[in-house]
Amino acid sequence: MSPTEARAFVAQVLRERGIPIDTTPVTSLDQLLEALAADQVGRFASAEQLVAGKPGIEALALHASIELAWSDDLVSFARILEELGKRAEFEVKRLNTKRESSLPLTDAETKALEQSQKNVAFDAKAKLALEVLAAERLSTASGIVDQTLRQFPKHPATYRGAAYFSLLSREWPNFDAAMTWFVEGEAKDASLVYLRGFESLKRRRSPAQATALFQEALRLNPKFVRAQAKLVLSATDIDTRYAEFEKLRGLAPQHPLVSLLGPSITSDYELSSSFRQAQAARNAPALIEPDDTAPLSPAR
């Protein structure tokens, strides 16, 4: 699938499914910074046009930030489609196994099987489209980061972009080298703390450490939507994931993750809650009714 085909497919899906994406044009630097901070991926194309081709470290750094955040988001969305696809595959396997065991499927199960088969095909195609677009944005970012390294090798903004790019590319020696520029101020910078959290996920394989760092990034910047989205994705149990999802929905109701993952998270949480309630009711101690026929103890 080419990037042009991937863009056309994504645009068609957004249009046909009515997924709400904020595409308000970005016409000023303040709006660009707002779009980045709020992770308004639908506005990134417009934001890119504001700084693309402009000279100076500020324009280059902002352009790199847009491309890197864009790629970061698209990879996250692709991961969600992969997860949804696995769910659909499991349902197809379950229903096919039942049918092959000579147990007839109900009408509802037959419809569910057909829908799950469609979901498997759609999720695979959507995942591929998002991965193609993520790679395209990362490739664009690579050129911008290289340009900043050549033109501004002593400017800290250069290494902020280099660190993010190396993180997304999993080039860990380059990431480590770039982050040495921020040793003193790293702990007070929400964006850099976010990068450390992302590193904990991708390099350290430590969801617990990543969660703590994403939470710290949000403490430093309570409107850091991308950090909140990562908290949803890094959660390891349904109660935590649902709680973080609700925070994301409150912070950015039109974030694509809300539409993509919201229904499954809500369904899983409701099922888990119902199961726990049923289990609690089953395990509750029975009330002991008084026996009116029992003889009274003799008075003393």
pLDDT at 259: 87
pLDDT reported for residue 284: 67
Q: Which residue has the tokens 């779009």?
A: 35
pLDDT one-digit tens code per residue, 26-42: 999 999 999 998 999 99
From CA 188, how far away is CA 197, in angstroms rounded? Answer: 14
Helix (H) or strand (E) holding 122: helix 107-151
| pLDDT in the model for residue 14 | 86
Q: Coil, helix or strand for 112?
A: helix
pLDDT at 13: 86
Which residues of the chain fall below pLDDT 50?
A: 294, 296-300
The pLDDT of residue 288 is: 52
pLDDT at 285: 65
Confidence (pLDDT) at 299: 45
> What phi and psi values does residue 81 have, to the nearest 5 degrees?
-65, -35
Burial 54-80 (b: 16+ CB within 10 A, else e): eeeeebbbbbbbbbbbbbbbbbbbbeb
pTM for this predicted structure: 0.86
- The confidence score (pLDDT) of residue 163 equals 96
